[in-house]
Amino acid sequence: MFRSRWGRINATVLPEGHGIVEGELNDVRVKYALGQWMVRIAEDGVVTRQIFQSKPLAEEFAEVERIRLELPSEPPVEPAESG
């Protein structure tokens, strides 16, 4: 559960998106795919993804994670996958 300025938000954690990626740098990205907003967090080689129904909540969660990981502010939103 994630606490935003709007209260507690339930986010879906995708277990299949959790894995260890050797050499992965810490990173936080927001991507829109299949009608949902995904936040991808890479931390010390472990990658997790959380799904949000709205862009503002996904962006706020991503910004909190960037602050926690001491990363620079928001990179651009990745384009949706075609297909």
pLDDT one-digit tens code per residue, 31-69: 999 999 999 999 988 899 999 999 999 999 999 999 999
The pLDDT value recorded for residue 17 is 46
Is 60 within the bounds of a domain? yes
Residue 31 has which token pair? 């991507």
The pLDDT value recorded for residue 30 is 93
pLDDT band at 12 (very low <50, low <70, confident <90, very high): very low
The pTM for the full model equals 0.65
Is 81 within the bounds of a domain? no
* CA gyration radius, the chain: 12
Is 79 within the bounds of a domain? no
Is 45 within the bounds of a domain? yes
Percent of the chain with pLDDT over 90: 49
The DSSP code for 44 is T
Structurally, the chain folds into a number of domains equal to 1
What residue numbers bound the domain in which 62 lies?
2-68
- Mean pLDDT score across all residues of the chain: 76
Is 78 within the bounds of a domain? no
